[in-house]
Amino acid sequence: MDDYALVLNAGSSSLKFCVFGRPPGESWHLEARGQIEGIGTAPRLSAKGANGESLAKQDVAVRDAHEALDALAAWLRSKYDRSRLLGVGHRVVHGGARFNGPTILNTEILHELQQLVPLAPLHQPYNLAAIEAVFDRLPGVPQVACFDTSFHRGQPEVAELIPLPRELRQQGLQRYGFHGISYEYIASVLPQGAPEIADGRVIVAHLGSGSSLCALKKRKSVDSTLGFTALDGLCMGTRPGALDPGVVLHLFQSLKLSATEVETLLYKKSGLLGISGISNDMRDLLGRSEPSARLAVDYFVYRAAKEIGSLSAALGGIDALVFTAGIGENSPEIRKRICESSAWLGIELDEAANAACHPKISTTGSKPSVWVIPTNEELMIARHTGSLLGLAKAA
Ligand code: ADP
């Protein structure tokens, strides 16, 4: 293989990775995708090639981010012996107000990003631990951070505002928005994949374990449903989405829950899981007949449709709705139900196209049109890593 770039997405118990090759004069293409799962319990490295063929399935001795990187580096050396690692691109969930684009990392920037850990306690510490591990174990390899918040910078002031006193806002209390790498990728493919809507008003629905909507005007983010943290907006797998802040006061003041208990409740026990008491996984819930599973799905659809209405108002009307991510790309049923609830906007679904997950799934008469466009956050990170490090022209 040619020299390659590595894309890392580090979580609390897993290190997901993608290997992108760069044949001379060509754009980045995926060579392998894999993960080390079960870090701290029963760690296992698995990887597949670009066509889904298995490249690795092995137990590894890994207790933390450093050892996970050691295991991955050893596997990469065994597999791509003659190739050079050109750079590492990381998904970093929070870039705060300062980082409004991908950034070449150094230890000062790493320190600055550590200050944002309280704003994304489930992701940021693990994202940063992987960066530290690369500095430590692969010191000569340049690193780039791509932030889930960056794409949303430049939103109108009112969209970013949290209406608390100025002293608090000056300390960074504002709406940041997330899933920005996914939205940036979708925006980047609209001119080729859906030229008729590329310059219009588009709502992108990123529906996965975490879910949000983004309002695009001419491919720029003008509003989104996630805010200061990744708890706002839509109902998610284990997060509730928008919540009356009085509920949180009640949890502290009347129920005497500790900060850690409230954090766990909000990040890990609510949303689809909390409502159903069965699962945080949409596919599971769609296959169940219990009333609580149905209620969880009903609420998910209700909230998505309601927020589509809200962002339509922010945009002054919409030209298109785009579905993406795990649920958005793979569930005709959820798309159908959200579109039915949004029929008042003029949306009309083409049932056959929806069942087949065609890129365009609305009838010719539907205004707005509706689309399914797979996201590719890893490719977006590889492109940024390549262009920032001067490795190749953007793919
Ligand atoms: P993440 O990357 O945040 O872990 P994904 O974007 O992979 O999340 O989305 C995971 C969600 O997608 C899960 O709730 C899963 O059940 C759902 N999903 C995947 N395939 C389907 C499907 N065919 N039908 C319904 N839901 C699906």
The structure tokens listed for 355 are: 């069942």
Domains and CATH numbers, the chain: 3-147 (3.30.420.40), 195-377 (3.30.420.40)
Is 199's pLDDT higher than 90? yes
Tell me, what's the pLDDT at 392? 52
pLDDT-derived band at 395, boundaries 50, 70, 90: very low
Instruction: Give the separation between CA 300 and CA 283, rounded to whole angstroms.
Output: 13
What are the DSSP calls for 267-311, one per residue? HHSSHHHHHHSS-S-HHHHHT---HHHHHHHHHHHHHHHHHHHHH
**Catalytic residue status for 148:** yes
Per residue in 258-294, pLDDT (tens digit) is 999 999 999 999 999 999 999 999 999 999 999 999 9
Q: How far is the CA of 281 from the centre of ligand 1 (A)?
A: 7
Of 64, 136, 148, 199, which is the active-site residue? 148
Whether pTM exceeds 0.75: yes
Q: For 72-82, what is the mean pLDDT?
A: 91
| Per-residue confidence (pLDDT) for residue 381, from 0 to 100 | 96
Q: How confident is the model at residue 115 (pLDDT cuts 50, 70, 90)?
A: very high
Q: What spacing in Å lies between the alpha carbon of 391 and ligand 1's midpoint?
A: 33
Q: Cα-flanking dihedrals φ and ψ of residue 155, to 5°? A: -65, 155
Q: pLDDT value at position 390?
A: 82
Q: 92 pairs with which residues across the strands?
A: 147
CA-CA-CA-CA dihedral for 68, 72, 77, 78, to nearest 10: 110
Give 220 Cα–ligand 1 centroid separation in angstroms.
26
Residue linked to tokens 């760690």: 43
* Residue nearest (by alpha carbon) to ligand 1 atom 19: 326
What CA–CA distances, in Å, run from 9 to 83, 145, 149, 355? 22, 10, 15, 31
Provide the percentage of residues in the chain whose pLDDT is more than 70.
99
The amino acid that residue 190 corresponds to is L
% of the chain exceeding 90 in pLDDT: 90
Provide the mean pLDDT of the chain.
Answer: 95
Q: Which atom of ligand 1 is nearest to the CA of 272?
A: 14
b/e sequence 126-163, b meaning 16+ C-beta within 10 Å = bbbbbbebbbeebeebbbbbbbbbbbbbebeeebbeee
Ligand 1, pocket residues at CB < 6 Å: 208-210, 237, 281-283, 286, 325-327, 330-331
CA 280 to ligand 1 centroid distance, Å: 10
Q: Phi-psi region for residue 204, left (φ > 0), alpha (ψ -120 to 50) or beta?
A: beta
Going by C-alpha positions, the residue among 373, 376, 347 that lies closest to residue 360 is 373
pLDDT exceeds 80 at position 393: no
How confident is the model at residue 104, as a pLDDT?
A: 97
Probe residue for ligand 1, chosen from 126, 331, 354, 381 as the CB with the greatest number of ligand atoms within 8 Å: 331
Q: In the beta sheet, which residues pair with residue 322?
A: 204, 371
CB 197 within 8 A of CB 319: yes
Cβ contact 39:60 at 8 Å: no
**DSSP string for residues in 13-38:** S-EEEEEEE--TTS--EEEEEEEEE-
Residue-level pLDDT at 82: 85
| Top mutation candidate among 122, 212, 301, 327 for ligand 1, by most atoms within 8 Å of CB | 327
Please write the tens of the pLDDT for every residue from 144-174: 999 999 999 999 999 999 999 999 999 889 9
pLDDT of residue 222: 98
How far apart are the C-alpha atoms of 178 and 364, rounded to whole Å?
Answer: 32
Contact 95, 13 (CB under 8 A): no
pLDDT number for residue 328: 98
Check residues 83 and 183 and name the one with the higher pLDDT: 183
pLDDT digits (tens, 9 = 90+) for 121-131: 889 999 999 99
| Residue 23: predicted pLDDT | 78
